[in-house]
Amino acid sequence: MRVNCTVNGEPRQADGVWEGESLLYVLRERLGLPGAKNACEQGECGSCTVYLDGVAVCACLVAAGQAEGRDVRTVEAIGKEDALDRVQRAFLDAGAVQCGFCTPGLVVAVHDLLTRQPEPSDPDIREALAGNLCRCTGYEAIIAAVRLAASR
Ligand code: FES
Ligand code: FES
């Protein structure tokens, strides 16, 4: 089947999509957007977090067909290499990136949190990021990064 949607502000089309394919697969393998990572494919790790119509979702749990006609925003649209978003800058400044595999999903999740809640408490931060797993950092640096981004 063919899927049409808006991705990062541009109309995009994917052909030959199988009914069981995920939005994550379409983004990574058909549209050349590898920012959202594929780790568990079961909605457990948050590494594939993207916005769908402005709501942060796990792209691995969204069937590609569900994205038809909708607005998708990926980490590629949050900041630019020479003009990082405050969340990305804070992750670097706080040393919240080690292997980096979890980072794109966390950046989207934190961006979403700070959009909804500009001054989150530590419990708010922990709750908002409960679905994003990181195997490297122990989370303290990530929470520090969120505080830093919020303060900016
Ligand atoms: S790859 Fe989607 S939640 Fe893990
Ligand atoms: S930095 Fe390696 S999984 Fe989070």
What would the pLDDT profile of 2-34 be if each residue is shown by its tens digit?
999 999 999 999 999 999 999 999 999 999 999
pLDDT grade for 132, boundaries at 50, 70 and 90: very high
Q: Kindly give the distance from the C-alpha atom of residue 125 to the centroid of ligand 1, in angstroms, as a whole number.
A: 20
Tokens of residue 113, six digits: 């949190």
CA 152/CA 136 separation, integer angstroms: 25
Q: What pTM did the predictor assign?
A: 0.96
Q: 142 C-alpha to center of ligand 2: Å?
A: 10
Q: Report the alpha-carbon distance of residue 151 to residue 45 in Å, rounded.
A: 27
CA proximity to 65, closest of 5, 111, 125, 144: 5
Structural contact between residues 104 and 88, judged by C-beta atoms closer than 8 angstroms: no
> What is the band of 113 on the pLDDT scale with cuts at 50, 70, 90?
very high
Q: Torsion over CA of 60, 64, 65 and 69, rounded to 10 degrees?
A: 110
Residue nearest to ligand 2 atom 2, measured at CA = 99
Query: Residue 81 has what pLDDT?
Result: 86
Instruction: Say how far apart CA 104 and CA 38 lie, in whole Å.
Output: 11
Residues within a 6 A CB radius of ligand 2: 97-102, 134-137
The pLDDT tens digits of the residues spanning 44-93 come to: 999 999 999 999 999 999 999 999 999 999 999 999 889 999 999 999 99
Ligand closest to Cα of 145 equals: 2
Q: What is the pLDDT of residue 130?
A: 96
Q: In 10 A of CB 142, how many CB atoms?
A: 26
SS3 state at 22: strand
Ligand nearest to the CA of 48: 1
> Residue 58 CA: which ligand is closest?
1
Ligand 1 center–CA 114 separation, angstroms: 21
Per-residue pLDDT, 10? 98
Which pLDDT does position 120 carry in this prediction?
A: 98
